[in-house]
């Protein structure tokens, strides 16, 4: 039986959630519009340089999981060729990049087209990076939990080590964000992203450990590092 106060509490939480969603959407529109305006010369330059280095098309699409696992097409500037070996297999990543496209990738300029997806409301400026649907499906319930927020251009995992982290650490940081996200945290992540772009990726051991010891992740560890469990 529902107590009289329960409905009020639920309604309060719902109103708070709605206010948070509206604030996040306004933040996304304002920030992505501002960055698009500021970076429009970079956008056009990267498109031209990509064409000169790799030819047409300058962008590519991949299907990824969005909010609630809904599929969408992610946009990126190309940074690799489609060169293959004698067996028809793609060459290793470092052999398919030019020095120029490697720099574009390092500065994350290849992600700039996703600003259009943020404006369209398909992505958020801050959130877990979009992954293939099958990858998240293989994670079971925790993969679905990760999709309770929109995927983002940058996220908690990206500013706490990113490529220096293993997959489980990234997942833990993503889940921590899903359970703790708010506008103030988004602003902090944007600021930390700028710092990372300038100084490079550094593992924040404190934040990683805090994420790895949250109850949701510990429950996965108890069943043998298998998020499906």
Query: Is 215 within the bounds of a domain?
Result: yes
Query: Is 1 within the bounds of a domain?
Result: no
pTM: 0.81
Do the beta carbons of residue 200 and residue 162 sit within 8 Å? no
Reduced DSSP (H G I as helix, E B as strand, rest coil) percent helix, strand, coil of the chain, to 5: 60, 10, 30
Q: Which domain holds residue 62?
A: 7-221
- How many domains would you assign to the chain? 1
Query: Is 77 within the bounds of a domain?
Result: yes
Query: Is 69 within the bounds of a domain?
Result: yes
For residue range 163-176, list pLDDT tens digits in order: 999 999 999 999 99
Burial of 40 (0-12, 13-18, 19+ CB in 10 A): exposed
Query: Is 2 within the bounds of a domain?
Result: no
For residue range 16-34, list pLDDT tens digits in order: 456 678 999 999 999 999 9
Query: Is 187 within the bounds of a domain?
Result: yes
């Amino acid at each position: 039986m529902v107590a009289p106060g329960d409905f009020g509490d639920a309604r309060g939480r719902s109103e708070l959630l709605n206010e948070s969603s509206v604030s996040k959407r306004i933040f996304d529109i304002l920030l992505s519009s501002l960055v698009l305006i500021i970076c429009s010369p970079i956008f056009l330059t990267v498109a031209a340089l990509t064409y000169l280095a790799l030819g047409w098309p300058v962008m590519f699409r991949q299907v990824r999981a969005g909010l609630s696992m809904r599929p969408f097409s992610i946009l990126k500037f190309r940074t690799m060729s489609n060169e293959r070996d004698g067996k028809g297999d793609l060459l290793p990543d470092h052999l398919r990049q030019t020095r120029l496209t490697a720099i574009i990738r390092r500065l994350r300029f290849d992600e700039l087209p996703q600003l259009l997806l943020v404006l369209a409301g398909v992505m958020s400026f801050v959130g877990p990076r979009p992954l293939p649907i099958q990858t998240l499906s293989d994670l079971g319930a925790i993969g679905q939990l990760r999709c309770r927020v929109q995927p983002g251009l940058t996220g908690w995992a990206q500013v706490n080590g990113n490529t220096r982290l293993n997959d489980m650490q990234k997942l833990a940081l993503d889940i921590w964000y899903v359970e703790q996200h708010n506008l103030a945290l988004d602003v902090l992540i944007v600021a930390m992203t700028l710092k990372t772009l300038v100084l490079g990726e550094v593992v924040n051991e404190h934040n990683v450990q805090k994420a790895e010891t949250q109850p949701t992740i510990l429950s996965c560890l108890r069943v043998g590092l298998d998020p499906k469990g």
